[in-house]
Structure 1
Amino acid sequence: MKSTEIHPADYDAQGRVRLPFLFWCVLLLQARTWVLFVMAAASRGQGDTLLTLFYPDHDSFWLGLLPGVPAVVAFLCSGRRHLIPRLWQALRWLLIVAQIALLCWQPVLWLYGEPLTGLGIGLLVADIVALMWLLTNPRLRACFTPEKD
């Protein structure tokens, strides 16, 4: 039977459970529109072309920023999670809700006429895997539980 214990190497110097590497990958997945926005801003003259390539409808782009907000907040709060335990604990559920929204987003776009592409299917599969991981990973769950003083 597989052990779900958290190993001593999974703790940092302050005794808190370290955030798993996949947590950062899920944050990038959820904040993908934010990443595109930063890349477009950094590319100067090519920014509008880059945004049009991924978001031909600019209204979709602005709506695409919304599900990434919890990921951006989690990224910003991750270093100070011990100072804001209630917000940090609520962020796990916000990330799960945002992941569900992203999971539903792609099929809705397909229903409204966006072409079915390999990138879209890949994002859908990645969203399913990320949601399952957010819901079931015991180490991640331990990262979001409040510390006992």
Structure 2
Amino acid sequence: MKNTKPLLFPSDYDGWGMLKLPWLFWGVLLLQLRTFAVVMHAVAFDNVHFSDGALFIALSPGIPAFLVFIFFIQPRQPGPYHWWGLWCTGRWLLILGGCLHLGWQFFSWIQSEPVAVMSVCFFIADSVALWWVINSQRLWACFTAEYGYPSFHYRKRDY
């Protein structure tokens, strides 16, 4: 039977006793937040005007990543961890965002939008990022109370 516990070392924890996020997490977050940059650039510089519903639909693939970023700021500060339950849903939000990005690109290709090299590159990058978010045990441990929350930290236990 496969061992599902991640291999964690003392260097994997920060000074507050929380599990450090893998550096690929930040790449996935930036990849999923690109919709905010594209939409804001279109509104600011290209004079594209969205109706109320169209703006929400255009921003919808990036909203889960934005929520994960907001949840990152709150629970990882020293002190009481009121937002920890929301932080634990962050991995599922990243999976949802990855599925939305892949579905958005696939839907635009079905609607006979021309297939550009950049859209294919982003489709491949989104596919790899979604695969990593689903299969990374270290990322799973960061979003799990047993490994990521400081009260479960091994240094604070008495042996």
Pick the TM interval, shorter chain.
0.7 to 0.9
Please name the residue that 2:157 is paired with: none
Contact in 1 for aligned 2:34/2:62 (Cα 8 Å): yes
Deviation string, structure 1 residues 60-101 (Cα, Å, up to 9, x no partner):
765231111111111122132252111111121121012111
Contact in 2 for aligned 1:67/1:101 (Cα 8 Å): yes
Deviation string, structure 1 residues 21-62 (Cα, Å, up to 9, x no partner):
111111111111112345567xx6xx116x69xxxxxx8765
Please name the residue that 1:92 is paired with: 91
Paired residue total: 136
Whole-angstrom CA distance in 2 between matches of 1:103 and 1:29: 12
Whole-angstrom CA distance in 1 between matches of 2:101 and 2:40: 19
Please name the residue that 1:20 is paired with: 22
Whole-angstrom CA distance in 2 between matches of 1:90 and 1:102: 19
Three-state SS of the structure 2 residue aligned to 1:114 is coil
Q: Where in structure 2 are there 5+ consecutive unaligned residues?
A: 153-159
Give 1 or 2 for the bigger CA radius of gyration: 2
Aligned-pair identity in percent equals 37
Contact in 2 for aligned 1:74/1:91 (Cα 8 Å): yes
Please name the residue that 2:129 is paired with: 130
Matches within 5 A, 1:2-81: 4-39=6-41, 47-48=45-46, 62-81=56-75
Whole-angstrom CA distance in 2 between matches of 1:29 and 1:81: 23
